Structure 1
Amino acid sequence: MSETIEILPYNVQWPEIFNGLATQLQEAIGEYALAVDHIGSTSVPGLPAKDVIDIQVTVASLEAPLQTALEQLGYQRKLHLTDHRPPGRDDLAVEELEKHFYFNAHPRVNLHVRVAGRFNQQYALLCRDYLRTHPHAAAAYAEVKQQLAKYFPDNADAYYDIKDPVFDILMEGAYIWAERKA
């Protein structure tokens, strides 16, 4: 049985929770972590979200020996997950979407280990930064998530099958924004 999808109002404690987790991760992983970033909806001030902290650990290689250290912190790995391929992006090589994924139940954390410079690593940071600086886009995205959770609270496949391509549309604006500010 899967969990019910519930979108909660923004919690001002999410950044503080992330900071504590990031410190633990950095200490446990050490030099293998090139960066530890707060990503996803809980990283965007004011954005409603599921009560799950998304963290991205950027590494030089997915071969970095992180699993033992992460398991000691309570993270469990889900094998053979890749990131969503945006529609029309058949040009992306499989490795551009590869990651290692871990979760922790207390506190609820999704931990994404991605390689520096790859599409999926950059996508997560760009989406966070775009939503942080574009409140109207963030509000529209929040509305989509809230409506999907209302109509599909117990159907994660339906929720993500709709949310992901909607977000890919939003990201087209993020790419233009990133090019202009570069």
Structure 2
Amino acid sequence: MPSRQDIVTFHDPPAPPGESPWVDGAGPEVGVDLADPHPAWPDAFAEIAARIRDALGWRAISIEHVGSTSVPGLVAKPIIDVDLVVADPTDEAAYLPALEAAGFVLRVREPWWFEHRALRLPQPRCNLHVFGPDSPEPVKHRIFRDWLRGNADERARYAAAKRSAAAAANAQGEHTMQYNARKEQAVREIYDRAFRAAGLVTD
């Protein structure tokens, strides 16, 4: 299990020299298309989760709907973000072929960031993030999701930051990682309030 300190710390290690997280020429998409909240997003997650469970069985320790599509009433890119926890992300033979047979495509491999792997599913559109049990990232994502679900003012604040970042990124022809950077300050401020409400940060 991740430590309390790891949960409240933002880990952003750069790729080692000569390394790229992108697999086989993949890269971030240009342009940010925000959509109004859609009632079909939970059903899309349920379909994706069932596909993962069918592929992996009990090797899928947890499957969580995270990101903006998991928060009712929040604008989002119409792509379902899913966190998958497996016993050992480095043991790709234990899960990757089964996921690929189910239609997922590996796009990112980041050994330097909690052994993160990311896969894309074309339909329903999904970003699948694979972590191990010791990674703090799935815990962070659940805290953020639940805090936004329970606080309308925070949802409104985050929606405004997303719209502003998307408008600026699109005006400059930027890709999604640059869009994420534009809203990072707002994200971290929301996290800080969520962490304090949970008692994870007390100073």
Q: What TM-score does the superposition give when structure 1 sets the normalisation length?
A: 0.85
Q: Does residue 176 of structure 1 match 2:196? A: yes
After superposition, residues 51-90 of structure 1 pair within 5 angstroms as 51-62=78-89, 63=91, 65-81=94-110
Q: CA deviation at 1:161?
A: 1.5
| Identity score, percent | 27
Structure 2 residues not aligned, in runs of 5+? 1-27
Per the alignment, do residues 5 and 73 of structure 1 end up closer, same or farther by CA in structure 2, a change over 3 Å counting? same
- Aligned pair count? 168
After superposition, residues 17-36 of structure 1 pair within 5 angstroms as 17-36=44-63
> Hey, what's the Cα distance between the residues in 1 that align with 2:100 and 2:115?
20
| 2:143 corresponds to | 126
The amino acid of 1:78's aligned partner reads R
SS in 2 for 1:12: coil
CA deviation profile, 1:45-72 (whole Å, cap 9, x unmatched): 1101000000111122212611111111
Q: CA deviation at 1:18?
A: 0.5
Residue of 81, 103, 115 corresponding to 1:98: 115
- Aligned CA RMSD, in angstroms, stands at 1.8
Pick the structure with more helix per residue: 1
| 1:15 corresponds to | 42
Q: CA deviation at 1:118?
A: 2.0
> Hey, what's the Cα distance between the residues in 2 that align with 1:12 and 1:159?
25
Q: CA deviation at 1:2?
A: 3.2
Structure 1 residues not aligned, in runs of 5+? 83-93
The amino acid of 1:111's aligned partner reads L
> Hey, what's the Cα distance between the residues in 2 that align with 1:53 and 1:79?
17
SS in 1 for 2:63: strand
> Hey, what's the Cα distance between the residues in 2 that align with 1:132 and 1:117?
25
Whether the 8 Å CA contact 2:85–2:130 is kept in 1: the answer is: yes
The amino acid of 2:147's aligned partner reads Y
Whether the 8 Å CA contact 1:115–1:121 is kept in 2: the answer is: no
The amino acid of 1:165's aligned partner reads Q
CA deviation profile, 1:17-37 (whole Å, cap 9, x unmatched): 101111111111111111111
Whether the 8 Å CA contact 2:48–2:124 is kept in 1: the answer is: no
> Hey, what's the Cα distance between the residues in 2 that align with 1:19 and 1:11?
14
> Hey, what's the Cα distance between the residues in 2 that align with 1:41 and 1:68?
28
